[in-house]
Amino acid sequence: AAKPYNMQTFATSCSRLTGCDIRLARVSHRESMKNMVKQGIDDWQACGISQIYDQINSWKYVFGTEQDFKKVLGRNPADVEEWIWENRSAFIPGKSNGATRV
């Protein structure tokens, strides 16, 4: 099973694995939604994303504890560092081909 994490853990892991300086910036629920809508995300989706981030940061929702994850996908959930590494091109476009995991 995956280790639990919040957004600070995500930012720290992402920074370490990509070599980029990534810091968590706290913004209000309203500001978060406004920024997502500005980027083209529908209001209802921005609201849901912002709500799940609030749940993650308050440890009310913990990734890796879902009972049906393995049943649905046939595998255990990846931990945050595995997920970042597998999706590193989203964080450092053009640099992921030669990246080595630390």
Give the domain range for residue 48: 7-90
Residues 44-82: tens digit of each pLDDT: 999 999 888 888 778 776 665 667 777 888 887 778 888
Residue listed under structure tokens 């504890």: 65
> What tokens does 85 get?
């590494």
> Cα separation of 59 and 9, whole Å?
12
Does any domain span residue 82? Answer: yes
Is 2 within a domain?
Answer: no
The verdict on residue 98 lying in a domain is no
Concatenating the DSSP letter of every residue in 80-99 gives: HHHHHHHTGGGTSTTTSTT-
Domain assignment present for 28: yes
Flag whether 21 is in a domain: yes
| Confidence bin at 102 (pLDDT 50/70/90) | very low
Of all residues in the chain, what percent carry a pLDDT higher than 70?
Answer: 81
Q: Could you tell me the pTM of the whole model?
A: 0.62
Q: Is residue 102 part of a domain?
A: no
CB contact at 8 A, 75 and 82: no
Number of separate domains in the chain: 1
* pLDDT of the residue at 80: 85
